[in-house]
Amino acid sequence: MNRLKIILSTLLVLVSLPLSAGYEPFSDVPQVSSIEEMLNIAEKQLKKPYQSGKEGPYAFDCSGFTRFCYKHLGITLNRSSKEQADNGERVRRRNLKPGDLVFFKGSKGRKIGHVGIVVEKGSGKSFKFIHASTSSGIIVENGDVEYFKKRYKTARRITTDRKIRKELKRIAKTRKKELKEAEKRAKEQEEELEELKEETKDRDDAPATQDRSFSEHIVQKGDTLYNISKRYGCTVEELQRWNGLDGNNISLGQTLKIMK
């Protein structure tokens, strides 16, 4: 019985077999397949309010918003804007592309205190970005306005469409391989389970009294299964089962087994 439980448990595990973890920077399976799709999700958050410490879906702070968007690509950014500046690769302002993170000095001091996502690259160093503004919530603004121009610090490229496609291809290959292995193991477990069922069936079909001793009764003139059963304290059905009889017919001199 314990062996049977183990096999059944194994089959359940195989059915829910998870994907293996993705390589860095991917920490999860992408829900969208391109930077453009991620930006579409970002723009769907427009006008949602700013709230410190929030990562959506109803309110955001600046780094919570960028984390929310990149999670749809299967990428988990660091939590704060300062820490997110360590993610990805540094990119020059004139080389910005949609999807890049842009960082700005905070309202106090020279350290990084704000982050947004590039949605459009203009000529030279100009760009537009979407971010969680403390006063306006999720909004698209021009990075060339004096306020942001003075506060601009750096930019990071987290991933590219090419890397996303490569990751999705790797996931598909991994899923196919793991599914094939799971099907093979499930088939082996199923075959073993069938063997156990057959063994159980054989035991159930075997006479329950096969290890009990028995005596013999030689059928005499006038004997019937009914009076023989009364003599030995058993039932007619038991006599039939013990002796493989289909009906009540017995013959003179026939030897019948009587289980004790």
What's the residue count for the chain?
A: 260
Among the options 72, 131, 217, 234, which is catalytic? 131
CATH 3.90.1720.10 maps onto the chain at: 26-158
Comparing CA positions, the residue from 201, 204, 205, 181 lying closest to residue 193 is 201
Using one digit for the tens of pLDDT, what is the confidence trace for 150-207?
A: 999 999 999 999 999 998 898 889 889 988 898 999 999 988 888 888 877 766 665 5
Comparing CA positions, the residue from 155, 160, 161, 164 lying closest to residue 81 is 155
**Local confidence band at 239 (pLDDT 50, 70, 90 cut-offs):** very high
- Are 135 and 113 in contact by the 8 Å Cβ rule? The answer is no
Please give, one letter per residue, the 3-state secondary structure of the chain. CHHHHHHHHHHHHHHCCCCCCCCCCECCCCCCCCHHHHHHHHHCCCCCCECCCCECCCCECHHHHHHHHHHCCCECCCCCHHHHCCCCEECCHHHCCCCCEEEEECCCCCCEEEEEEEEEECCCCCEEEEEEECCCEEEEEECCCHHHHHHEEEEEECCCHHHHHHHHHHHHHHHHHHHHHHHHHHHHHHHHHHHHHHHHHHHHHCCCCCCCCEEEEECCCCCCHHHHHHHHCCCHHHHHHHHCCCCCCCCCCCEEEEEC
**Local confidence band at 4 (pLDDT 50, 70, 90 cut-offs):** very low
Superfamily of domain 214-259: LysM domain (3.10.350.10)
User: Hunting for tokens 């879906």 — which residue is that?
Assistant: 57
Q: What's the rounded mean pLDDT across residues 15-39?
A: 64
10: pLDDT strictly greater than 90: no
Using one digit for the tens of pLDDT, what is the confidence trace for 124-159?
A: 999 999 999 999 999 999 999 999 999 999 999 999
Catalytic residue at 234?
no
Rounded CA-CA distance 117/98 in Å is 7
CATH 3.10.350.10 maps onto the chain at: 214-259
Q: What is the pLDDT of residue 237?
A: 93
Residue predicted with more confidence, 259 or 97: 97
Structural fold of domain 26-158 = endopeptidase fold (from Nostoc punctiforme) (3.90.1720)
- Are 216 and 258 in contact by the 8 Å Cβ rule? The answer is yes
Give the angle subtended at the CA of 42 by the CAs of 39 and 44, to the nearest 5°: 115
Catalytic residue at 72?
no
Q: Against a cut of 0.85, is the pTM above it?
A: no
Catalytic residue at 62?
yes
What residues form DSSP beta bridges with 137? 133
Rounded CA-CA distance 232/174 in Å is 69
